[in-house]
Structure 1
């Protein structure tokens, strides 16, 4: 049984993140029933929704999102969420929110980094646990299936993916690119990134700049792509030439894993439909990687989110054995992309 939240006819604004667990923050609730979030049986997690009051807009900003007044599931009261930072930069509208440990939700005790006007989640951290039960965990399954060597993270955020890889794989070296220096500073102040840098000074390197120009000597063994702007996958990812360039930056037998979004993605520009942009991105990748392209879908047909993986599908049993037990079920979720 899922939580049921009734909004009492109030205007509310839906923020659609890119993470596979349901979360909804409503201004007022009448009913809140217990919910079960179990991965028993290896059932895929669902996409989340996070509802917060909208930012104040000035005349130069994008139009307000359309209000959502329909009833939705899996709610968490606004009193269990605290905003601890919010400000605008050249590239982003940045918010950091904290979910109370008392909240009856898998994200209880977490901090979330929200970027852009719709407020898509770009990083998450917990005080007392490493895994996130989100697509960041899927990213953390990449190291066992790539050759030894550095991993590039394009779209570093506050460091959620880097933390997982550095902690789970002691030999890993991470190079991360982030366009907005303020995002990295927020990571250092609120998400433990500064501590991570001190802990792994020879394994973690962060660069400020255009991630599509990322390169290192001798190339990457693996590349993780998580590039969104204004609530949408950046347009360059719908261009096959972009994937040709990234492919050339790989070492022999290297792979790319990509957050390609999906229906759950809400862009500032309503013309950038999440499902359509995802499909265009996968088609662009297919032109470059052909049959060596696989897709993992999180959620359901109505509100899905997907990841893509390049290269031949590896030996699944060997892949599982190389992963922590709590990540092994993701291996069986990959399917060939047929265009």
Structure 2
């Protein structure tokens, strides 16, 4: 009998085939964020020409803590053993939708996640004072980074459509403690994130909105970006997880790259040349978009609270120079 492995692939994940027998776990952060699904080790996975081989770990090093369906999501919480020889070792992951995209990451022994959540955490130094909105709150990975890394004058207003996701965050991801420790800095709203607003306007908006394994369709509509732009304060910025080929959608027609391109095109119609893109994983992982003029990069780096975050600053490219590899 072949040894059962958990296969975690970050660059180019194979497609989901529900008709195959289930016995091996494939993890990919959403985009890190990437989906998780089961597959036999005897099955040869599809690979693109530039993909690397999967990193396998024994399945007994992955533990399922919770698994259930809510009105909006198929929710799973898993832990990867600290003994695992993998970047996700020691992490707890929130997986949503059938493919199992990772929507939140929490490590027991470290703060940073080595994912797009860390990119989100570089936003505060380049926006004016004021509240930050997180649209698509998940279990609170982005909020935790910002609240723990930045001074108390920064406040977070989060929106999540699924109350069960917030419950999971409080139960398994330390969100209750985060709310207690920062009770005057974090405000969680249950409802449609596209209706999010605060009286003063947001100094920054972080957008991480996925449904059924894909960037939501509304974000391919320029009118939605025009509406979000109007909710910014003067010199405010928006940073967006626009996904990419690492995202596994339930609908096979919602190709990650194509959805990302359509989302960026919609943003370009609203923000013009003030649109920049950063891609992780040599073009094979998540892409993040940023609005506004490109800041002074050296000044940006100096204001970051952790040196490790500075590596992302040099990765931004104008949208006009952005090309998929």
Q: TM-score, normalised by structure 2?
A: 0.86
C-alpha distance in 1 between matches for 2:144 and 2:28: 24
Q: 1:263 aligns with which of 245, 249, 253?
A: 245
What's the counterpart of residue 210 of structure 1? 192
C-alpha distance in 1 between matches for 2:144 and 2:231: 23
Q: Aligned-pair distance for 1:15? A: 5.2
Q: How do 1:1-339 residues align onto structure 2 when only pairs under 5 Å count?
A: 14=26, 16-20=28-32, 50-52=36-38, 69-70=45-46, 72-170=53-151, 171-301=153-283, 303-323=284-304, 324-338=306-320
C-alpha distance in 2 between matches for 1:112 and 1:139: 18
Q: Deviations over 1:298-337 (max 9, x none)?
A: 1134x33200000000000000001110100100000000
C-alpha distance in 2 between matches for 1:318 and 1:87: 46
Structure 1 stretches of 4+ with a deviation exceeding 6 A read none
C-alpha distance in 2 between matches for 1:68 and 1:289: 44
Unmatched 5+ stretches in structure 2: 1-5, 8-19, 48-52
CA contact (8 A) 1:17 1:119 kept: no
Aligned length: 295
Q: Aligned-pair distance for 1:14? A: 4.5
Q: Aligned-pair distance for 1:106? A: 1.8
Q: Aligned-pair distance for 1:218? A: 1.4
C-alpha distance in 2 between matches for 1:15 and 1:329: 25
CA contact (8 A) 1:16 1:118 kept: no
| Alpha-carbon distance change, 256 to 295 in structure 1, aligned in 2, over 3 angstroms | same
Q: Deviations over 1:29-87 (max 9, x none)?
A: xxxxxxxxxxxxxxxxxx86644469xxxxxxxxxxxx863573222221110000000
Unmatched 5+ stretches in structure 1: 21-46, 55-66
| Alpha-carbon distance change, 243 to 198 in structure 1, aligned in 2, over 3 angstroms | same
